[in-house]
Structure 1
């Protein structure tokens, strides 16, 4: 247990302290974090919307956040991980919490926890909810960190729960099959509460658990659905029909599955949080999310995408095919060692011409040799160069492209974050940050 003689003086000090509090970075279970929640008396009197899923969580949170804000509500959103600054995780109406606000929330949790060891994520989750309650928000959107059933976010009962998709990821914690992973994610469902699923073909364990606890289960393609039109889309559920909705301002055909879940959440909570149709339209058109097929610059363009598992890689590949270039596509890839590196690379072989792979300087990061070995295993003749770090790989990639080419940066949040830090100097006036 770390020994601080005084309260950390600033946010950097607090974050360093949080990293030392628990011997493990991930320790699933709700007993410890629930005890501290009760000591803090964290009982939100506003609706909580919980979002789980292998992919699509961030996009779904972002759309909900923007739509409710456009409707005039004070909207809290807690997401993870962050790209550049921890503050990004804790937002109200899209504005990140200040250092002072986070320090106050951390101090409240520290005072309440006494001898209870909390992980970095558990401590942050409690602090976020403390901040939201203090700020008297109208609704809180909480993104699950890992799985669902035993995730710290699950100590707060939702008014509506969403599982966006189920695929193989974090198997060392959630099991090595879609069935076991689906059951873990279904743990965010509650009896009598709308329990949404945005996966058109979920493992049976998900609806089975929902029926077992008598949740109000609703699945895309069944209880609610969407129809794609030319430049718009329609939404249908039992008691809501919307025509001519604008396509979400987030790239990817799969985003309509996320958007359909968002519309059904709005429908389910309509009595408590009514939303005019104009706010739905405005929210879909104005939503922004960094690092999800984020396109910057032109001639060549630079695409940032945090895709780090095969399902997300498939979505990235589809986006790249849907937006072809006359030149080549250069991939800058860095991944964590516990991810399916071979699976991701195999999917992207058909759309990436030249590979620049780099080790990630994090405890879980794959080194350059491991990435090269994975790529050579699936594509012995791939044009590839290895680098010690992501920024070096990116800068070298920039030197080897012309105005008709593009660079796609992918593989992890760390990879995208490293490149984001140097993009302003790389692109100059062409750099357009997400706002």
Structure 2
């Protein structure tokens, strides 16, 4: 087993910030795929097995994971259930990663969980993500929760979330991302996502064209698989939408037909695909009773910061989206095209992406719908891209400016005579701008 990195051990006086710094230097690799080390510690923490009264839902996929977590949580809370959610990465504050009934864990609660993992791991070295994932699951395991929702960080099969048992899973849209770890085609990536499935358990796949590798794995495990277009469907009608299930069409929940549903309070037509997958999960699971009224309330009240999130700054409308791969950028582009039809000018974009991402692919998707670009220098962040490189990609399309900080990027955007600003490219980009915007009130 790898030795613990030579770093000062935490003490009882450590603040959350000090703990996070300690965890950043605990393991040699920031990403170290595999379950051997994390499973060993999970067993010591006694969190691998399911609690009888708690349903553990895992959500995997390339895009849409966070939206699915938010939708499930909103609906289940509206139905009166106690819900814990674990997501990553965070936008502004680390505490955001774990929430109970929509409220982030406090510093003290996180520290309690860190202490538990630190005691259990012994000489086992854990990456930052592995350690914090175990801490979140351990904390939830101590609470009287009806539902725990765990978002996969990367892939599925070898992700730390997969070191514990789950009751069911949702697999969202699948596309190319993290190819260095997951493979360079949808079949390879689909197999990695399918790794969160459990024998004979429920899995909903909301990708309209699931990879054959995923279907084959589900058949091998005799999974109760429900796929978009085969076992359920949806369509939009005027200001609402309909959900249909093949087992009961139109589908029923608590004796009510799911028609004329309100649109999710999340921007973008693609959110209907996410919402339909969530309703397919609700339709097929057997642990909870959820009324149509609760579904409608959840759809109307769901919030998901950083996903086509609108903020107002002066006379400008700011749109923040964590799109960080071509598929997500295409969804953003569709929304921008629709929104541009209502305006006389195109928005200015604040953009920055990490070096291992398809930067050209993202730029090409969004460029036709943007007037000017401001490239944010994220260095010295790990994997940050030199903005000069991004500028070279844009040179044949349009002009661009480089901002050395989020503050300067905002100032440059405010100086442009446009009524809209779109921010995208990575969680770090959106988080940096969001943090600075908070200072503007």
Does TM, normalized by the shorter one, top 0.5?
A: yes
Matches within 5 A, 1:37-116: 37-42=42-47, 43-45=49-51, 46-116=54-124
Matching residue of 1:289: 304
Give the whole-Å Cα distance in 1 for the aligned partners of 2:400 and 2:8. 47
Question: 1:8: how far off?
Answer: 5.5
Question: 1:326: how far off?
Answer: 2.0
- Report Cα offsets for 1:7-26 as digits up to 9, x if no partner: 45111111111111110011
1:13 aligns with 2:18: yes
1:222 aligns with 2:234: no
1:415 aligns with 2:429: yes
1:424 aligns with 2:438: yes
- Report Cα offsets for 1:257-281 as digits up to 9, x if no partner: 1101110111222x31111111100
Give the whole-Å Cα distance in 2 for the aligned partners of 1:31 and 1:246. 45
| 8 Å CA contact retained: 1:105, 1:127 | yes
Distance 1:255 1:5, change over 3 A: closer
Question: 1:196: how far off?
Answer: 1.2
1:182 aligns with 2:190: yes
Give the whole-Å Cα distance in 2 for the aligned partners of 1:424 and 1:81. 19
| 8 Å CA contact retained: 2:27, 2:126 | yes
Question: 1:5: how far off?
Answer: 6.2
Matching residue of 1:309: 325
Task: List alignment gaps of at least 5 residues for structure 1.
Answer: 429-435
| 8 Å CA contact retained: 1:368, 1:388 | no
Matching residue of 1:373: 392
| 8 Å CA contact retained: 2:10, 2:22 | no
- Report Cα offsets for 1:301-339 as digits up to 9, x if no partner: 111011110000000011111222222310010110100
Question: 1:381: how far off?
Answer: 4.4
Matching residue of 2:220: 212
| 8 Å CA contact retained: 1:249, 1:285 | yes
* TM-score when normalising by structure 2: 0.93
Alignment RMSD (CA, Å) = 1.3
1:120 aligns with 2:120: no
Which of 144, 156, 178 aligns to 1:136? It is 144
* Aligned residues between the structures: 421
Give the whole-Å Cα distance in 2 for the aligned partners of 1:91 and 1:289. 13
Give the whole-Å Cα distance in 2 for the aligned partners of 1:70 and 1:327. 40
Matching residue of 1:432: none
Give the whole-Å Cα distance in 1 for the aligned partners of 2:429 and 2:242. 36
Task: List alignment gaps of at least 5 residues for structure 2.
Answer: 253-257
| 8 Å CA contact retained: 1:60, 1:259 | yes
Report runs of 4+ in structure 1 exceeding 6 Å deviation: none
Give the whole-Å Cα distance in 1 for the aligned partners of 2:67 and 2:326. 18
Matching residue of 1:247: 263
Question: 1:113: how far off?
Answer: 0.4
* TM-score when normalising by structure 1: 0.94
1:200 aligns with 2:208: yes
Give the whole-Å Cα distance in 2 for the aligned partners of 1:381 and 1:229. 38
